[in-house]
């Protein structure tokens, strides 16, 4: 038999063993690929002529003539070895260009996210973060930062992703959170000082405002004093194109009352991170999106000026925008007002540091994307999370309606308890009666706002009870889940790709 026939036979053998097309990577003296097993799970395979090329990986090795093939788990220590072998899978800071975060509560969505980036022609234009989870989500899903990162690595490898990746440790509130995620290999740290934001500052007047200004901000920690701040920033002006921003005394005092303690908190966590992480290892996002009242442009400027003075560097900032970015549904509010707000924030960011605006709860905001892309250009980070779970429920509802019925019923039961700490308007009493929607007619609920939000916030309860069933179903219908995610996220990405492409050619 000639060489050609032997190659063909070897290739056929690989496919017979479940080789995942598109996963094959040749790196140095070895090839790596994923294999799909009969039960829907995946394993890692490596081949090399030199046994030392396989060290660090655990599994069973067999010799085929000159070549050694090792097959092992696509999990645990093999994923750490995989990140070393294929450096693009090891999270790095992604810098100030357009980026998107794809939170994935099930750990199965990354291949679909990769498909969407490809379909939208976003590769190389929109930087990707596949591992992104907050401590709140970790607590509710029973997952760990390491587990989330490992699932994202496995998914990106299976899908043959060849571009860099970031990993976002989302909504961190303590030094212990920072340490945990740094050890796991995260590259982006979203510091959330929300608990230190005083929303009541918006309504303080006269003497009450003056008193709060003297007492609320932690002045020693800020290395400042009421007099020092007024001397530095009262009367400060910023040219924002069609409008100018000027700190009058009251606006400055209000900003310090509202965000002074938040500045100190961000500084503490960022300095902690910098001391541990070493240079070039991590980037920081500052997020105040989960607070009750919008961040004014003056307050944004105060935050940026003070953080910079205190030697904090950050790559993106998530203000609390006007209107409402609620989970799982489109924007609620006046789009013209939002456009003006986004434009103002983008101009403040451009003037004070050239960092990105981060859109949290960014999934399903189809009315917002063109506006945000027009206002901020390439300086946008789009953060999504729960919507990939809702797409999983859509696949479940089509393949096994009984499972979706169970999840909906449980969600209605658990809503009151699970909604705590979420800012949403959805109400279970407005969800259509599931009993009146037999079989896959229940899929209509995924188009209904209240139902989407009820399902969105009760994911922890649902995964606790039905997680294994849902994961098994998605394993068996992997292509359907990938298709659903590709369609859904292509729509999220398209407006940003258009802007990134236009800026690249400008």
Please report how close the Cβ of residue 201 comes to Zn ion at its closest, in angstroms: 21
Question: Whole-angstrom Cα distance, residue 286 to residue 313?
Answer: 10
360 binds Zn ion (CB under 5 A): yes
The gap from C-alpha 341 to its chain's centroid, in whole angstroms, comes to: 23
Please report how close the Cβ of residue 319 comes to Zn ion at its closest, in angstroms: 11
Of 107-115, 143-151, 214-222, 357-365, the segment contacting Zn ion by CB under 5 A is 357-365
- Select 360 or 394, whichever has its Cβ closest to Zn ion: 360
Please report how close the Cβ of residue 287 comes to Zn ion at its closest, in angstroms: 5
Binding-site size for Zn ion (CB under 5 A) equals 2
Please choose, from the candidates 490, 494, 498, the residue with its C-alpha nearest in 3D space to the C-alpha of residue 391.
Answer: 490
Please report how close the Cβ of residue 420 comes to Zn ion at its closest, in angstroms: 16
For every residue of 119-169, DSSP letters joined together read: HTT-TTTSEEEEEEEEHHHHHHHT--HHHHHHHHHHHHHHTT--S-EEEEE
Counting beta carbons within 10 angstroms of the beta carbon of residue 498, is it exposed (0 to 12), middle (13 to 18) or buried (19 or more)?
A: middle
The pair phi, psi for residue 347, each rounded to 5°, is -70, -40
| Alpha helical stretches, state H, 353-385 | 369-376
For every residue of 312-352, DSSP letters joined together read: ---SEEE---SSB--TTS--BS-HHHHHHHHHHHHHHHHHH
486 binds Zn ion (CB under 5 A): no
Question: Whole-angstrom Cα distance, residue 407 to residue 106?
Answer: 15
Q: Which residue out of 177, 192, 285, 418 is catalytically annotated?
A: 285
- Select 289 or 450, whichever has its Cβ closest to Zn ion: 289
- Select 192 or 406, whichever has its Cβ closest to Zn ion: 192
- The answer to whether 285 is a known catalytic residue is yes
Question: Whole-angstrom Cα distance, residue 307 to residue 222?
Answer: 9
- The answer to whether 170 is a known catalytic residue is yes
Please report how close the Cβ of residue 362 comes to Zn ion at its closest, in angstroms: 9
Please report how close the Cβ of residue 392 comes to Zn ion at its closest, in angstroms: 21
**Three-class SS state of 41:** coil
Task: Give the x/- contact pattern for Zn ion in 278-307, rule: CB under 5 A.
Answer: -----------x------------------
Site for Zn ion in 390-419 (CB under 5 A): none
- Select 93 or 362, whichever has its Cβ closest to Zn ion: 362
- Select 190 or 253, whichever has its Cβ closest to Zn ion: 190
Question: Whole-angstrom Cα distance, residue 260 to residue 253?
Answer: 10
- Select 204 or 322, whichever has its Cβ closest to Zn ion: 322
Residues interacting with Zn ion, by CB under 5 A?
289, 360
Q: Which residues have a catalytic role annotated?
A: 170, 285
């Amino acid at each position: 038999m000639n060489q050609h026939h032997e190659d063909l036979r070897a290739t056929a053998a690989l496919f017979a063993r479940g080789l995942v097309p598109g996963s094959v990577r040749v790196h140095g003296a070895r090839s790596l690929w994923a294999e799909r097993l009969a039960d829907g799970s995946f394993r890692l395979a490596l081949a090399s002529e030199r046994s030392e090329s396989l060290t660090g990986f655990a599994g069973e090795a067999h010799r085929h003539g000159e070549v050694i093939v090792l097959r092992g788990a696509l999990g645990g220590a093999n994923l750490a070895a995989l990140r070393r072998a294929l450096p693009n899978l090891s999270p790095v800071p992604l810098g100030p260009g357009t980026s998107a975060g794809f939170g994935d509560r099930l750990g199965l969505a990354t291949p679909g996210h990769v498909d969407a980036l490809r379909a939208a022609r976003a590769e190389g234009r929109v930087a990707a973060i596949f591992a992104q989870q907050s401590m709140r989500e970790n607590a509710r899903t029973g997952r760990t930062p390491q587990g989330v990162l490992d699932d994202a690595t496995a998914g990106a490898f299976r899908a043959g992703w060849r571009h860099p990746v970031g990993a976002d440790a989302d909504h961190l509130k303590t030094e212990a959170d920072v340490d945990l995620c740094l050890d796991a290999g995260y590259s982006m740290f979203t510091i959330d000082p929300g608990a230190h934001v005083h929303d009541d500052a918006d309504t303080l007047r006269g003497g009450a405002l003056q008193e709060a200004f003297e007492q609320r901000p932690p002045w020693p920690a800020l290395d400042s004093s009421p007099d020092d701040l007024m001397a530095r920033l009262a009367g400060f002006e910023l040219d924002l194109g069609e409008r100018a921003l000027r700190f009058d005394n009251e606006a400055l005092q209000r900003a310090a009352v509202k965000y002074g303690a938040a500045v100190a908190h961000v500084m503490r966590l960022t300095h902690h991170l910098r001391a541990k992480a070493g240079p070039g290892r991590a980037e920081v996002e500052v997020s105040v999106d989960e607070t009750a009242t919008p961040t004014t442009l003056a307050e944004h400027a105060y935050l940026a000026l003070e953080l910079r003075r205190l030697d904090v560097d950050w790559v993106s900032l998530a203000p609390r925008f006007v209107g409402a970015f609620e989970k799982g549904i489109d924007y609620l509010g006046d789009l013209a007002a939002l456009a003006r707000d986004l434009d103002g924030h983008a101009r403040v960011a451009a003037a004070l540091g050239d960092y990105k605006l981060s859109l949290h709860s960014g999934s399903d905001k189809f009315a917002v994307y063109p506006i945000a892309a027009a206002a901020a250009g390439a300086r946008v980070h789009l953060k999504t999370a729960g919507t990939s779970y809702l797409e999983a429920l859509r696949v479940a509802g089509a393949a096994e309606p009984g499972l979706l019925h169970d999840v909906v019923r449980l969600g209605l039961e658990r809503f009151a308890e699970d909604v705590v700490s979420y800012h949403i308007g959805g109400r279970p009493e407005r969800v259509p009666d599931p009993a009146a929607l037999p079989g896959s007619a229940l899929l209509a609920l995924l188009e209904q706002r209240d139902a989407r939000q009820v399902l969105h916030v009760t994911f922890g309860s649902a995964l606790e009870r039905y997680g294994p069933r849902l994961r098994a179903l998605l394993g068996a219908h992997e292509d359907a889940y990938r298709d659903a995610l590709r369609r859904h996220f292509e729509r999220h990405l398209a407006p940003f790709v258009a802007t990134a492409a236009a800026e690249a050619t400008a």
